[in-house]
Amino acid sequence: MLTNLTDSENQSRKALWRRFNGDHITSPIKEAVEDAICRETEAGYKLKVCIGTDSQVKGDETEFATVIVFLREGRGGFMFIHNEKTRQSFSIKERMLVEVAKSIEIAYELCDLFTLYDVDMEVHADINTNPHFKSNEALREAMGYILGMGFAFKAKPEAFASSSCANKVVN
């Protein structure tokens, strides 16, 4: 789900992935992910991938950060990052569901690679399971959306890809 972007902006958006150190990923994200999977498995690592999105509202802009977190079993990890801004305003529930949609969009684009290379993948939602938090309004729909797409689902406090990793890189 892309918000308020023209076709040319959507095309350039695909090239806006970067590594945590700031280096831009110049190849298509699917190719970069496949290269990372091959490199890490050839080095002997068992991988798991977690995909999540977080957002922050600043004035009339909402910025989204989506991350692809690669976990090396027992050996740390690394991530790819994509930031995107929009002037569209959202209710808290809408914003949570847009975050989930952005995560699902990239998970869906990459899921055949994860199947091909036998890499476990989870989609993380930055939604609180405690009903006293406003984000909880979107929990049922988000969980249904993610599980309905056939992906493993994690919410707070287990959703570190969205609530910790993406949270750190949303400007």
Q: What is the pLDDT of residues 32-72, one digit of tens each?
A: 999 999 999 999 999 999 999 999 999 999 999 999 999 99
Q: For 105-160, how does the pLDDT look when each residue is reduced to its tens digit (9 = 90+)?
A: 999 999 999 999 999 999 999 988 888 888 888 898 999 999 999 999 999 999 99
pTM attached to this predicted model: 0.88
| Average pLDDT over the chain, rounded to an integer | 90
Options 1.10.10, 3.90.1200, 3.40.50, 3.30.420; CATH for 7-169 is: 3.30.420
Structural domain spans, the chain: 7-169
Q: What angle do CA 98, 60, 90 make, to 5 degrees?
A: 30
Q: Distances in Å between the alpha carbon of 55 and those of 72, 110, 113, 164?
A: 26, 22, 27, 12
In this prediction, residue 131 carries a pLDDT of: 84
Residue 4 has a pLDDT of 52
Do 155 and 39 form a contact (C-beta atoms < 8 A)? no
pLDDT band at 1 (very low <50, low <70, confident <90, very high): very low
Backbone torsions φ then ψ of 93, nearest 5 degrees: -65, -45
Provide the residue type at 15 as one letter. Answer: A
